[in-house]
Amino acid sequence: MARRKKIYEGKAKTLFEGPEPGTIVQYFKDDATAFNAEKHDIIEGKGVLNNILSEYFMQGLGQIGVPTHFLKRLNMREQLVRSCEIIPLEIIVRNYAAGTVCKRLGLEEGTQMPRPIVEYCYKDDSLGDPLVSEEHIAAFGWASQQDMEDILSLALRVNDFMSGVFYAVGIRLVDFKIEIGRVYNGDFQRLVVADEISPDSCRLWDIETGRKLDKDVFRRDLGSLTDAYTEVARRLGVMPNNPPAAGKPTLVN
Ligand code: 5GP
């Protein structure tokens, strides 16, 4: 079989050239990193769970008319996505205070935000993804005014959808990060939700007990990350048939 061309290797995913022009294969690795990759571990089965969970959210968003880069899941670790130009911003939506906003504003963890708050960080690991304002984004040309309006609207629609889906299974969506890509069609561009949506990029707390079911389990050594992600997948009814296992991808029909 011909070897695929690797396009990019990130901390949690590797991207390969897809079978058709304009497509990319996104491979979910078991690597877990935190604090700008200062902390690193291999968590067996994480890639399988994130692949399936991201498929679930991207498909759900597609069904309510939110455009995403997702095309189809190929196997337990890979999905086919539309190639897009990633806007160099991390778009963060916060419903409750946690993480960096607590330090920045002196808020107690768990404080409910007066309304969902959208923040933008400049995607640059060497700088630690710093928080930026819309002024920076406009002045440095990372996104236009129209893009910013569309990004805000997409972020809030994703938040409404995901908050509802999680609430229905007893999980509070505290905050999350998404990335947005541009897809070109001739002279026209449209924005799509790209990258992944998984417990790696969200904060998820059990509504009853407050148990953390997201990457904070790894960041703060709170137990088994696989157990936490498995619990999320189980509640959403998307557990893979076979328990997650590391190793080579297997084809599903
Ligand atoms: P914080 O700013 O509190 O660190 O993160 C806010 C939310 O965005 C959290 O759900 C966190 O998991 C997510 N997030 C922030 N930066 C990154 C990142 O570089 N990668 C991933 N996967 N998620 C991020």
The Cα 39–Cα 220 span in angstroms is 10
Instruction: Tell me the best of 158, 177, 225 to mutate to test the pocket of ligand 1, counting ligand atoms within 8 Å of each CB and taking the most.
Output: 177
Residue nearest to atom 16 of ligand 1 (CA): 177
Token pair listed for 237: 């009814």
Can you give the pLDDT at residue 248? 47
For residue 175, the tally of other CB atoms under 10 A from its CB is: 24
The Cα 131–Cα 120 span in angstroms is 6
The angle subtended at Cα 203 by Cα 208 and Cα 9, nearest 5°, is 150
3-state secondary structure of 170: coil
Give the relative orientation of helices 46-63 and 145-167 as an angle to the nearest 10 degrees: 110
Contact 236, 165 (CB under 8 A): yes
- Ligand 1 centroid – CA 243 distance (Å): 27
Token pair listed for 68: 């995403």
Backbone torsions φ then ψ of 7, nearest 5 degrees: -95, -40
- Reported pTM: 0.94
DSSP letter, residue 99: T
- Ligand 1 centroid – CA 149 distance (Å): 22
Can you give the pLDDT at residue 247? 45
Can you give the pLDDT at residue 246? 44
Can you give the pLDDT at residue 240? 79
Atom of ligand 1 nearest to the CA of 202: 10
For residue 241, the tally of other CB atoms under 10 A from its CB is: 6
Can you give the pLDDT at residue 36? 86
Burial of 228 (0-12, 13-18, 19+ CB in 10 A): buried
Identify the segments of the chain with pLDDT beneath 70.
1-2, 242-253
Question: For 42-82, what is each residue's pLDDT tens digit?
Answer: 999 999 999 999 999 999 999 999 999 999 999 999 999 99
Can you give the pLDDT at residue 242? 59
Question: For 1-30, what is each residue's pLDDT tens digit?
Answer: 567 899 999 999 999 999 999 999 999 999
Beta bridge partners of 33: 40
